[in-house]
Amino acid sequence: MSNQELTEQELLRRESLQKIRELGIDPYPAALYPVSNLASDIKANYQEEVLEDGTKNRLNYQEVCVAGRLMNMREAGKAMFLNIQDASDRIQLYLRREELAENEDFTFFDQVIKKLLDIGDFIGVKGFVFKTKTGETTIHVQSLTLLSKSLKPLPIVKTDAEGNVYDAVHDPEFRYRQRYVDLTVNPGVKEVFLKRTKMVNTMRNFLNDHGGIEVDTPVLQNIPGGATARPFKTHHNALDVPFYLRIANELFLKRLIVGGYDFVYEFSRNFRNEGMDRTHNPEFTILEFYVAYKDYFWMMDFTEHLLEKVAIATNDSTELPVGENTISFKAPFKRISLFDAIKDYTGIDVSQMEEDELREVCKKLHIETDPTMGKGKLIDEIFSEKCEKNFIQPTFIIDYPEEMSPLTKKHRSKKGLVERFELMINGKEVANAYSELNDPIDQRERFEEQVSLMERGDDEAMFIDHDFLRALEYGMPPTSGIGIGIDRLAMLMTNQHSIQEVLFFPQMKPKQEN
């Protein structure tokens, strides 16, 4: 970038950088800086001792060493007040000119601190803690080190004494593209991601406590299996064969059940080459786990208690505000069959209908269809368009048509259905689970049905995975499995309206850079 393309602020910062170097100061030192304290711990734990004569006990002052980003500066005569922000919080600094002099040389204070430091610079300070007359916990600085010079100005966001925020950065285009700035100037954003981490850790601990084993399965797959979705395709140069980014890890996890594990799970990054909106991103995280000798009834009970535990761990309550609603994660959750849900919200019983009849229902309900859609997809569209949005409280939608579920065991007592559920919360699917199909002959027939849908033009239909069929032929015990959308669950646990708010770096169309 040439100087002609830089803003006035950027030019001034580069001039400051050069002057700092001319003073013999390294603006990007490599040496370790001995941070010993976090701002949040200092503010939470420092207690000032006042003696009987009303004076403060200097010996009780806590010596600290902190580092962070400079967020505010103001002069007070021969002193200065600064605010720095570390990973935990902001804290005030107090600097006195005479205390930072070296051999009566005030250059560092007068030139570097007052004139060459900028908002956004990283600094480290050593000193002791005290409280100002207004009661604010403050570090009395005895030494200051420049750790990294910032060459771009941060947006200025101000907060008054009552906690009101002014000039906050709300533009999602800016925030998502420059998340590093968003995290710096909007403290609440960092809290969202810390809560997401707590959510994932709670789930991992819950699964471990119940005997789960965390595993890794391939992201590059020669057959994109385990779900009906459009994949991303790439090419492996060394092998000279096409590969796909995984759309699901299901078939590999079930191979491990065949191999003798009873309970396996994976937090996996999946990729689907489909649309983007406030609940869909082409790259997303899902938790899948599979448990031998269980069925979908057991999985509903287990899932209820898992999510109840997550809600308490992340929000200290099972009652969570989500938009205009309050959602209860207290077990048990409601259960209703797919056909009953459609009948409740459309007044139409589709349970015995064939494809032509379903197309007529879609036409009557003003639902768009195309010739590639088979019976299963037509039923799915009716539910998605007319029913899904109504399920605000956690609800298990159970017992799906066989055509919609090529990897699911046939229902033990209801002909034409399979033992499957989807968990709906706040009008969206959050989880999908089955009693897993372990009959290799039945599974082959289901795959062949998917091939016929592919031949009709359905680009989301499943490929035949011959190695998975071979694995089933060796024998897989009765098993239940589930996939839980981590990003959508994080939206609920953090009360966010968009999936982009719970992804550090959501996919966006590239901008032309200078």
Q: What are phi and psi of 481, to 5 degrees?
A: -135, 160
CB-based contacts of 64, cutoff 8 Å, min separation 6? 36, 37, 42, 126, 127, 128, 129, 139
d(CA 309, CA 108): 54
317 and 507 Cβ atoms separated by less than 8 Å: no
Based on the fold, state whether residues 201 and 61 are members of the same structural domain: no
Residue 384 exposure: Cα atoms within 13 Å on the Cβ side:
11
Whether 514 is in a domain gets the answer no
Collapsing DSSP to helix, strand or coil, 252 comes out as: helix
Based on the fold, state whether residues 460 and 325 are members of the same structural domain: yes
Based on the fold, state whether residues 106 and 252 are members of the same structural domain: no
Whether 483 is in a domain gets the answer yes
User: Which of 132, 154, 176 is the endpoint of a domain?
Assistant: 154
Q: pLDDT at position 405, please?
A: 87
Whether 66 is in a domain gets the answer yes
Based on the fold, state whether residues 440 and 483 are members of the same structural domain: yes
Q: pLDDT at position 90, please?
A: 95
CATH of the domain at 23: 2.40.50.140
Based on the fold, state whether residues 150 and 195 are members of the same structural domain: no
d(CA 423, CA 428): 8
Whether 312 is in a domain gets the answer yes
Based on the fold, state whether residues 113 and 9 are members of the same structural domain: yes
Q: pLDDT at position 168, please?
A: 72
Q: pLDDT at position 202, please?
A: 98
Q: pLDDT at position 514, please?
A: 57
- Domains in the chain: how many in total? 2
pLDDT values of the chain reduced to their tens digit, one per residue, 514 residues: 566 689 999 999 999 999 999 999 999 999 899 999 999 999 999 887 766 666 666 555 679 999 999 999 999 888 999 999 999 999 999 999 988 877 667 889 999 999 999 999 999 999 999 999 898 999 999 999 999 999 999 997 766 566 666 557 889 999 999 999 999 999 899 999 999 999 999 999 999 999 999 999 999 999 888 887 899 999 999 999 999 999 999 999 999 999 999 999 999 999 999 989 999 999 999 999 999 999 999 999 999 999 999 999 999 999 999 999 999 999 999 999 999 999 999 999 999 999 999 999 999 999 999 888 889 889 999 999 999 999 999 999 999 998 888 899 999 999 999 999 999 999 999 999 999 999 999 999 988 888 887 777 777 677 789 999 999 999 999 999 999 999 999 999 999 999 999 999 999 988 876 5
Based on the fold, state whether residues 124 and 257 are members of the same structural domain: no
153 and 118 Cβ atoms separated by less than 8 Å: yes
Q: pLDDT at position 1, please?
A: 57
29 and 170 Cβ atoms separated by less than 8 Å: no
| Best CA proximity match to 218, nearest among 241, 195, 252 | 252
Whether 252 is in a domain gets the answer yes
What's the CA dihedral at 20, 24, 28, 33 to 10 degrees?
-120
Whether 368 is in a domain gets the answer no
CA dihedral sign, ordered 464, 468, 471, 477: negative
Whether 366 is in a domain gets the answer no
Q: Given the structure tokens 């959510």, which residue do they identify?
A: 199
Whether 111 is in a domain gets the answer yes
Based on the fold, state whether residues 196 and 301 are members of the same structural domain: yes
d(CA 467, CA 471): 6
CATH of the domain at 328: 3.30.930.10
Q: pLDDT at position 295, please?
A: 98
Based on the fold, state whether residues 118 and 194 are members of the same structural domain: no
Based on the fold, state whether residues 143 and 202 are members of the same structural domain: no
d(CA 82, CA 406): 62
Based on the fold, state whether residues 132 and 276 are members of the same structural domain: no
Based on the fold, state whether residues 141 and 198 are members of the same structural domain: no
Q: Given the structure tokens 């929000």, which residue do they identify?
A: 315
In which domain, by residue range, is 55 found? 3-154
